[in-house]
Amino acid sequence: MRNPKIVFVGAGSVVFTQGLLADLLRYPELSSLHLSLHDIDPERLQVAEAVAHRIAAARGAKPRITATLDRRAALDGADFVINMIQVGGHDSTVTDFEIPARYGLRQTIADTIGVGGVFRALRTFPVLDALAADMAVACPDALLMNYTNPMAMNVWYLSGRVRNVVGLCHSVYWTMRGLSDLVGVPYEEVVYQAAGVNHQAWVLRFEREGENLYDRLDARIDADAELRRRVRVEMYRRLGHYPTETSEHSAEYVPWLLRHAGEIDRLRIPVGEYLRVSEENVREYKRTRDAVRHGAELEIAGTDEYAPQIIHSMVTGTPRVVYGNVVNDGLISNLPDGSVVEVPCAVDATGVRPTRVGALPPQCAALNRAYVNVNELTVRAAEEGRPEHVRHAVMVDPNASATLSLDDIWRMCDDLTVAHGDLLPESLRVTPAS
């Protein structure tokens, strides 16, 4: 595959686009690729195109760069498609926090499960339908790499609509980087394996030259009272395996924490954290836009994301292992087949091949199954046009079910349905009787 065509869908996520491009164009073998940028926002697309030219020049690369508001045209003949859309943008994120907060429901990130994750998925599914339809015509054999959250729900939904899809997230990589630093061992010397579901996978193996590095981690935690005031450390101490997502994320996937003010204080849980992140993302975009307009220097830094590594491996045949979110076909034996799981994947010129992990520790699988239940009901709601399943998904969510009454769950979903309006699938815009 020479000079592959790579399409960025949602290229107006300029900061993320910038990091991916810096990674892609560091590879000499990819210096002449065709980069096709697509977004529905003309200004953001223009900024992304300018940033792409800046990064190419800085890397000494000469890619072909095109930009278009026409998604079908952008996809024509693509080899790889990277999806990073956020339907509804910052305003919808604010809605996902403010309405639940009126009912007393606390959230931290609200992009994976929970009511925020459910409604983010429902806003995204109609756009995924359109993307899949365009790919079926324009590039049916392309590999679709999804970065858009909620990762597991989106990949589950896409899996019945496109031929080749994998969901990519940096949580395993950065968790292992952080754990390596914590135990004082260079990351390059660590051997590890993780598996589970996105944002709630588990470190199953953590070693160096036969030494179990969990022993070092235990000693580090025992010696540091402040370290014990973190959600993921608390989960590790109770469950025996370290979770692969931040404490901010992890807090809202379980029923024991956010309903208790004392636990929020003890474990330093930042309620509403993603609102602050989202506001900073908007500010960072504006800084980048203004830098482009005024010819100011841009920082060009790689991010070690998986998509550029996958593309390089498939183009050059270089073997790698990455972590991917894929349909469970016996990969994790004690999670439901057909759900989406996060496992190690081998990559080379033949593509992305998931690894069979076997059974997770039963306590870890039990928590993952609660997560999968929310995913399944949300996907079913959209596929079957059943708005009651939206409410069912929130009813079985660990955080919402531990905090709210059934009446409040239904009323909250009704309010969110009205607030998000025509961003939702048409069949789900009604409010069923409770």
Q: What one-character-per-residue DSSP string does 135-171 give?
A: HHHH-TTPEEEE-PSSHHHHHHHHHTT-SSEEEE-SH
Which position has the token pair 């991916």? 20
What is the per-residue pLDDT for 2? Answer: 74
DSSP 332: B
Distance (Å, rounded) from C-alpha 390 to C-alpha 75?
32
Contact 45, 15 (CB under 8 A): no
Confirm whether 63 is domain-assigned. yes
Q: Residue 191: beta bridge partners?
A: 207
Confirm whether 284 is domain-assigned. no
Q: What is the tally of structural domains in the chain?
A: 1
Of these residues, 90, 170, 249, 260, which one is catalytic? 170
What is the per-residue pLDDT for 1? Answer: 63
Confirm whether 136 is domain-assigned. yes
Confirm whether 39 is domain-assigned. yes
Decide if 170 is catalytic: yes
Confirm whether 243 is domain-assigned. no
Contact 250, 232 (CB under 8 A): yes
Q: Containing domain of residue 35, as a range?
A: 5-88+111-171
The pLDDT tens digits along the chain (434 residues) read 678 999 999 999 988 899 999 999 999 999 999 999 999 999 999 999 999 999 999 999 999 999 999 999 999 999 999 999 999 999 999 999 999 999 999 999 999 999 999 999 999 999 999 999 999 999 999 999 999 999 999 999 999 999 999 999 999 999 999 999 999 999 999 999 999 999 999 999 999 999 999 999 999 999 999 999 999 999 999 999 999 999 999 999 999 999 999 999 999 999 999 999 999 999 999 999 999 898 888 887 888 999 999 999 999 999 999 999 999 999 999 999 999 999 999 999 999 999 999 999 999 999 999 999 999 999 999 999 999 999 999 999 999 999 999 999 999 999 999 999 999 999 999 888 77
Confirm whether 77 is domain-assigned. yes
Contact 187, 176 (CB under 8 A): yes
What is the per-residue pLDDT for 296? Answer: 86
Chain Cα centroid distance, residue 33: 25
Q: Which helix (H) or strand (E) covers residue 231, if one does?
A: helix 231-239
Backbone phi, psi, residue 149, to 5°: -90, 155
Which CATH number do you get for residue 56? Answer: 3.40.50.720
Confirm whether 75 is domain-assigned. yes
Backbone phi, psi, residue 80, to 5°: -135, 140
Confirm whether 204 is domain-assigned. no
Residue 405: how many other CB atoms lie within 10 Å: 11
Which position has the token pair 């943008």? 89
